[in-house]
């Protein structure tokens, strides 16, 4: 059978719910094997139903344990789960260092919890285009929930925004250093904050610090545009001076109306109807607080739909995907042009010896590409 025929059968088996086909599809995507682009293109028509959840936070926050318990709870509700664990890249093979099932003890043997470790591949943020495509494969397969767990180092937390609908940031109890770090930018992407290992000393203080930061952010105390990574685009007036419309859990089981937050009033006495991130306390090793966490995840998903933010996010995500693919393709075309021009090393040597300069080389390499685009415009 031809390669195209193999891919057609692979797609049919994936859509039929065969996990082996899902695994093979993700491998083809991750390896950028021949034909993967056509395969991913076919997936788009079958996506859009899964809730995509990002779990991020500093190393040691207990992300893997919480993801395991989260998947277990979803299965008890009758929902299927796909998990993508972004692991550090092996310096030798480029593959994921950690095994698929090492950290997922509660759901081992449950085929309706599909766990896949993927290499960060050294990309900024750790979430390569392959990861976003793998999410589409799980979505098309029919998984109800797709959970992405990041490495939790460097820019990984920021990049997850481009792929997940809801981002949960885990913060372990501590001296406050972890919370202070959030001010550098992580606060902007968190839709839900989870103080995991809440049975440890310092949990109350961490919850209080997070609550204060969320309140300040809701009132633009940090000069940010809105709470959560969807807040800026979803700020609307409801005319009643209320926030999202459900109470704000202070992490101790006490519910406070969002209007109690220290927010600056709008010119007409109204407050933005944006999402104010709740704070949930969990002890993942015991499963404590997981149900409350799921409730907040569902509240956020409902908010995204009702506010129209989910549709806007999808448009922005697809726009970014188009830009990314164009950058990759144009980069490939330019590499070919560089080879035709003598290769990058020879060109660099010509600059070193003073025969030319980088700007002239760039113009010469781009010239045939620009000419081609101009010809297409005239034909159009």
Q: Does domain 47-306 have CATH number 3.40.50.300?
A: yes
Q: Where are the domains of the chain?
A: 47-306, 320-379
Say if residue 87's pLDDT is above 80.
no
- For the stretch 346-379, pLDDT in tens is 999 999 999 999 999 999 888 888 888 888 888 8
pLDDT at 303: 96
String of DSSP letters for 26-92: HHHHHTT-TTHHHHHHHHGGG-S-SEEEEEEESTTS-HHHHHHHHHHHHHHTT--EEEEEEEPBPTT
Who wins on pLDDT, 141 or 336?
141
More confident of the two residues 145 and 180:
145
237-271 pLDDT, tens per residue?
333 333 343 444 444 444 444 444 444 433 333 33
Q: What is the mean pLDDT of the chain?
A: 78
pLDDT of residue 342: 82
pTM: 0.77
Looking at residue 26, its pLDDT comes to 94
Contact 136, 44 (CB under 8 A): yes
> In this structure, are residues 317 and 162 in contact, taking their beta carbons and an 8 Å threshold?
yes
Q: So what's the pLDDT on residue 129? A: 80
Q: Which two tokens stand for residue 45?
A: 């028509």
* Secondary structure (DSSP) of 192-234: EEEE-STTSTTHHHHHHHHHHHHHHHHTTTTS-SSSSTTHHHH
The pLDDT of residue 189 = 81
């Amino acid at each position: 059978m031809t390669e195209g025929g193999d891919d057609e059968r692979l797609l049919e088996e994936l859509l039929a719910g065969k996990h082996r086909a899902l695994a093979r599809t993700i491998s083809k995507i991750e390896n950028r094997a021949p034909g993967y682009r056509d395969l991913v293109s076919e997936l788009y028509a079958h996506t859009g139903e899964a809730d995509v959840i990002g779990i991020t936070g500093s190393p040691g926050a207990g992300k893997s344990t919480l993801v395991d318990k989260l998947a277990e709870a979803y299965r008890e509700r009758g929902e299927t789960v796909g998990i993508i664990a972004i692991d550090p890249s092996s310096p030798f093979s480029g593959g994921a260092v950690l095994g698929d099932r090492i950290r997922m003890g509660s759901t081992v043997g449950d085929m309706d919890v599909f766990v896949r470790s993927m290499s960060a591949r050294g990309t900024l943020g750790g979430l390569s285009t392959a990861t976003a495509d793998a999410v589409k494969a799980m979505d098309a397969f029919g998984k109800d929930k797709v959970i992405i767990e990041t490495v939790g180092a460097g820019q990984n937390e920021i990049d997850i925004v481009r792929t997940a609908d809801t981002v949960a940031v885990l913060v372990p109890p501590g001296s406050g250093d972890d919370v202070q770090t959030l001010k550098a930018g992580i606060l902007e992407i968190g839709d839900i904050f989870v103080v995991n290992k809440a049975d440890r000393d310092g949990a109350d203080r961490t919850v209080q610090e997070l609550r204060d930061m969320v309140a300040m952010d809701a009132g633009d105390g940090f000069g940010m545009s809105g709470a959560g990574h969807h807040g800026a685009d979803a700020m609307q007036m409801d005319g009643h001076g209320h926030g999202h419309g459900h109470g704000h859990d202070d992490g101790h089981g006490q519910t406070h109306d969002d209007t109690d937050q220290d927010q600056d009033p709008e010119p007409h006495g109204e407050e933005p109807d944006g999402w104010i991130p709740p704070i949930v306390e969990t002890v993942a090793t015991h499963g404590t607080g997981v149900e409350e966490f799921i409730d907040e995840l569902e509240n956020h998903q409902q908010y995204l739909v009702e506010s129209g933010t989910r549709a806007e996010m999808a448009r922005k995500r697809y726009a970014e995907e188009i830009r990314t693919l164009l950058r990759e393709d144009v980069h490939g075309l330019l590499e070919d042009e560089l080879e035709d021009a003598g290769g990058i090393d020879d060109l660099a040597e010509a600059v070193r010896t003073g025969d030319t300069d980088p700007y002239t080389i760039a113009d010469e390499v781009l010239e045939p590409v620009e000419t081609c685009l101009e010809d297409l415009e005239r034909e159009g």
